[in-house]
A and B are shown apart, each in its own frame.
Chain A
Amino acid sequence: MQKRGTKANMPPPATTNLGYTPPDGGWGWAVVFGSFISIGFSYAFPKSLTIYFKEIQEYFSISYSQIAWVSSIMLATMYAGGPVSSILVNRYGSRPVVIVGGLMVGVAMVTASFGTTILHLYLCVGVIGGFGLAFNLQPALTIIGKYFLVKRPIANGLAMAGSPVFLSTLAPLNQFLFDHFGWRGSFLTLGGVMLNCCVAGSLMRPIEIKMKLPVSKTTDENNAGELDVTPQTAESKQSGCAAKINQFIDVSLFKHRGFLIYLVGNVLMFFGFFAPVVFLAPYAKHQGIDEYSAAFLLSIFALVDMFARPGTGLVANTRWIRPKIQYFFSFAVTYNGLCHVMCPLLPGYSGLVVYAVFFGLAFGMVCALLFETLMDLVGAQRFSSAVGLATIIECGPVLLGPPISGLLVDIFMDYKYMYFACGVMMLAGGIFLFIMNYYNYRWLEKEQTQRKVEGLEIGLANEEDKDNEEEIKLSTEEEEK
Chain B
Amino acid sequence: MRRKLLGVILAVCIGWFRAEALTAGFIKSPLSQMKLIEDNAELDCEVIGNPIPEVQWWFIEGEEPIETVTQLFDGAREDRVHINATYINHATSTLVLTNLTLNDTGVYECRASNDPDRNDLRTPPKVKWIRSQANVIVFEHAAITTRPEMVSDQNQTAATLTCNLTNTDFTIKGYYWTHNGKIIDKSKSSVGKAYIEHEIAKIDYHSSGLYSCVFQTEPEVNATIEVKVTPHVVAYKHSENANEKDKAVLICVSHGYPLPTDWEWYKLSETDAAKKIPIVNGTDDKYEIKNTPNKTTLYVKNLEIDKDMGIYLCMGTNDIGSGDDKIQLRVRSQLAALWPFLGIVAEVIILITVIFIYEKRRKPDEINDGAAPLKSNAATNHKDKNVRQRNSN
Contacts and interface: CB of A to CB of B under 8 A. Distances in A.
Interface stretch (A179-187, A329-337, A358-366): A179-187
A450 to B, nearest CB: 16
A278 interface: no
12 contacts: A3-B384, A21-B377, A182-B246, A182-B332, A184-B243, A185-B243, A191-B341, A192-B342, A195-B348, A208-B366, A214-B378, A455-B389
Interface in B241-271: 241-243, 246, 249
Contacts of B366: 208
A148 B340 CA distance: 37
Contacts of B359: 205
Contacts of B371: 208, 210
Interface residues of A, number: 45
Given A20-B377, A199-B351, A202-B351, 4 more contacts: A179-B241, A184-B243, A192-B344, A195-B348
A100 interface: no
Contacts of A189: 337, 340-341, 344
A208 B369 CA distance: 10
Contacts of A20: 374, 377
A227 interface: yes
B292 interface: no
A213 B355 CA distance: 31
A18 to B, nearest CB: 11
Contacts of A480: none
Nearest 5 Cβ contacts at the A-B interface: A185-B337, A192-B344, A214-B378, A459-B389, A181-B337
B375 A203 contact: no
Contacts of A2: 377, 381
A463 B246 contact: no
Contacts of B343: 192
Interface of B: 241-243, 246, 249, 332, 336-338, 340-345, 348, 351-352, 355-356, 359, 366-367, 370-371, 373-375, 377-378, 381-382, 384-386, 389-390, 392-393
A202 B341 contact: no
Given A3-B384, A195-B344, A213 B375 contact: yes
B356 A202 contact: yes
- Say what secondary structure dominates the interface of chain A: helix
A255 interface: no
A462 B386 CA distance: 9
A106 to B, nearest CB: 8
A375 interface: no
A181 B367 CA distance: 48
Contacts of B375: 210, 213-214
B337 A186 contact: yes
Contacts of B393: 456, 460
Nearest to A456: B389
B348 A217 contact: no
A182 B338 contact: no
Contacts of B374: 20-21, 209-210, 214
Contacts of A88: none
B344 A199 contact: no
Contact of A208 (B332, B336, B356, B370): B370
A58 interface: yes
Interface string A447-480: 0000000011001101100100000000000000
A247 interface: no
A318 to B, nearest CB: 25
Interface in A131-153: none
Contact of B249 (A59, A179, A214): A59
Contacts of A466: 386
B341 to A, nearest CB: 4
A463 B391 CA distance: 12
Nearest to B388: A459
Interface in A191-241: 191-193, 195-196, 198-199, 202-203, 205, 207-210, 213-214, 217-218, 224, 226-227
A2 B374 CA distance: 12
